[in-house]
Amino acid sequence: MSLQNVKAVILAAGKGVRMKSDRPKVLHELLGRPILDFVLRNLRLAGVREIIVVVGHQAENVKAAATGCRFVEQKEQKGTGHALLCAQAELKDFSGDLFVVAGDAPLVGVETLRRMIEDHRAGKRDATFLSACLDDPKGYGRVVRDKESGRFLRFVEEADATPEQRNIPECNSGGYVFRCPAIFDALREIKPDNKKGELYLTDALGLFVALGRTVEAVRSLNPAEIYGINSRRDLVAATNFIRWKVLEYHMDNGVTVIDPSTTFIEEDVTIGQDTVVQPFTILRRGVVIGKGCEVGPFAQIRSGTVVEDGAEIGNFVEVKRSRVGAHSKVKHLTYLGDATLGSRVNIGAGTITANYDGVHKHSTRIGDRVHTGSNTVLVAPVRLGADVRTGAGAVVVRGDIPAGTVLVGVPARPIGKKIQPLTKVKRKRA
Ligand code: UD1
Ligand code: CA
């Protein structure tokens, strides 16, 4: 669904001093995805097509991370109100509703954004903000309401708040919908009369009220979604919030997660039904795992990897940018990088693909039903045809090994006899 006559501005010019980092705050990652990316994605999923990002600190890096947006620069960070003013020229012909959100608040959900715009329109308001009552409101701007009527009066930032105001649990999320161009008229009137000496966007809403314009809150149904990330500690809290959502999503899809508290599944991972994820497993962004697989314990599957149906990735195994064919087993102490495995392969304990020569990465192809002996090293580029077998400790140094070859030693050499394909040999089940 695309929303008509709506645009958005993301405020992302700040340095993020409290992060103590060389990296701009909005580019820190939650489960493999930059904070800013969450904000962008959710606005787009809510139906906003045109997004302007206010950049400043390390502007070029932030721009590179926000594809499909327009940018305005805030050269000096003089506060959130000043940041929005920087976008005024870009919006000079726009009359409609404007989302203004902080680039450091990635958890505000799509449904909430939709509720904000719907409420704003239904109430015919000049401004709508998202708030939540937090058990620990420390650090947030508080919502000051009229004691009798309960109506919104203004915000007060923590640094400027009286002890009594600090006890107010209702906090400002830093996300708003404004009617344009009225908000810019208000912004031009506000003054930097606060402890930080900044132009506060929040003061524009107080001014609206003073001028008799309509301002109200949409309350978040899940208070944690308003978390703003200012510090490394906040990063952990936000990561956990998303981590649980991701885990619940996979469990709801029919994946068994034995111990969610030690399982890290990043964003955009696909896992088929009846797959079991054992404890202490990390699945990086974009990994695809089929149905009926088993992963872990103590496995790390990195980006660019596809694990086909029924395959097993066991303990102390790292797989990177590889494809593991159906019903193949990689069960113990292995590194697979840039490798493609056919189906029903058995990778012996301790097998390593040596994919990096210090300059380039090289690929390894392993045919159907190959068995590698324990501690095999496959020095890439190397290709093992179907049904190849390697002896324990074999070091296979580059090349193309024909199907059915048996290799042993260092460097590995064929021992002359070709073996029958494994499917035709009577064997006990492993
Ligand atoms: C802000 C709100 C506070 C709210 C909180 C929610 C104000 C004055 N305060 O406080 O009421 O509870 O968010 O998380 O708005 N930014 C710029 N340019 C600037 C300053 C900030 O682009 O000159 C950007 C930052 O990069 C950040 C966002 O605006 O993404 C919010 O700024 P931040 O300094 O984190 O505000 P808070 O102190 O958290
Ligand atoms: Ca913040």
Q: Quote the Cα angle for 16-17-21, to 5°.
A: 80
Element (H, E) at 156: strand 152-156
In the chain, helix, strand, coil percent, each to 5?
A: 25, 35, 45
Cα-based distances in Å from 149 to 41, 84, 145: 37, 31, 8
Segment 280-287 long-range contacts (CB within 8 Å, at least 24 positions apart): 284/32, 285/31, 285/32, 285/33
Query: Helices in 10-149 by DSSP H: which ranges?
Result: 35-45, 59-65, 80-85, 110-122
Separation of CA 24 and ligand 2 centre (Å): 13
pLDDT at 265: 98
For residue 341 the two structure tokens come to 């495995």
Closest ligand (CA of 102): 1
State the DSSP string of 78-93.
--HHHHHHTTTGGGTT
Q: What is the pLDDT along the chain (430 residues), one digit of tens a residue?
A: 789 999 999 999 998 999 999 999 999 999 999 999 999 999 999 999 999 999 999 999 999 999 999 999 999 999 999 999 999 999 999 999 999 999 999 999 999 999 999 999 999 999 999 999 999 999 999 999 999 999 999 999 999 999 999 999 999 999 999 999 999 999 999 999 999 999 999 999 999 999 999 999 999 999 999 999 999 999 999 999 999 999 999 999 999 999 999 999 999 999 999 999 999 999 999 999 999 999 999 999 999 999 999 999 999 999 999 999 999 999 999 999 999 999 999 999 999 999 999 999 999 999 999 999 999 999 999 999 999 999 999 999 999 999 999 999 999 999 976 656 656 555 566 6
Helices 35-45/110-122 angle, 10° precision: 50
- CA atoms of 66 and 43, how far apart (whole Å): 13
Q: What is the DSSP letter of 226?
A: G
The letter for the amino acid at 159 is A
For ligand 1, atom 14: residue with the closest CA: 228
Q: Which residues pair with 131 in a beta bridge?
A: 172, 219
Q: Residue 104 CA: which ligand 1 atom is closest? A: 30
Active site residue 332: yes
- CA atoms of 421 and 164, how far apart (whole Å): 79
Q: Does any ligand 1 atom lie closer than 6 A to the CB of residue 12?
A: yes
- The answer to whether the CB of 6 falls within 8 A of the CB of 47 is yes
> Of 250, 332, 362, 371, which is the active-site residue?
332
3-class DSSP state of 291: coil
3-class SS string, 296-365:
CCCEEECCCCEECCCCEEEEEEEEECCEECCCCEEEEEEEEECEEECCCCEECCCCEEECECCCCECCEE
Q: Does any ligand 1 atom lie closer than 6 A to the CB of residue 83?
A: yes
- CA atoms of 417 and 405, how far apart (whole Å): 7
Q: Does any ligand 1 atom lie closer than 6 A to the CB of residue 102?
A: yes
CA-closest candidate to residue 12, choices 86, 93, 97: 86
pLDDT at 416: 74
CA-closest candidate to residue 109, choices 30, 46, 172: 46
- CA atoms of 355 and 119, how far apart (whole Å): 56
For ligand 1, atom 9: residue with the closest CA: 141
Q: Does any ligand 1 atom lie closer than 6 A to the CB of residue 79?
A: yes
The letter for the amino acid at 126 is D
Q: Does any ligand 1 atom lie closer than 6 A to the CB of residue 199?
A: no
For residue 140 the two structure tokens come to 């947030």
3-class DSSP state of 392: coil
Residue 174, Cα to own-chain centre: how many angstroms? 21
Q: Residue 155 CA: which ligand 1 atom is closest? A: 11
Q: Residue 13 CA: which ligand 1 atom is closest? A: 22
Q: Does any ligand 1 atom lie closer than 6 A to the CB of residue 134?
A: no
186: alpha, beta or left? (left if phi > 0; alpha if psi -120 to 50): alpha
Q: Residue 15 CA: which ligand 1 atom is closest? A: 26
Separation of CA 86 and ligand 2 centre (Å): 19
For ligand 1, atom 8: residue with the closest CA: 200
3-class DSSP state of 387: coil
Q: What is the pTM for the complete model shown? A: 0.91
For residue 194 the two structure tokens come to 């606060």
- The answer to whether the CB of 66 falls within 8 A of the CB of 101 is no
CA-closest candidate to residue 103, choices 11, 22, 174: 11
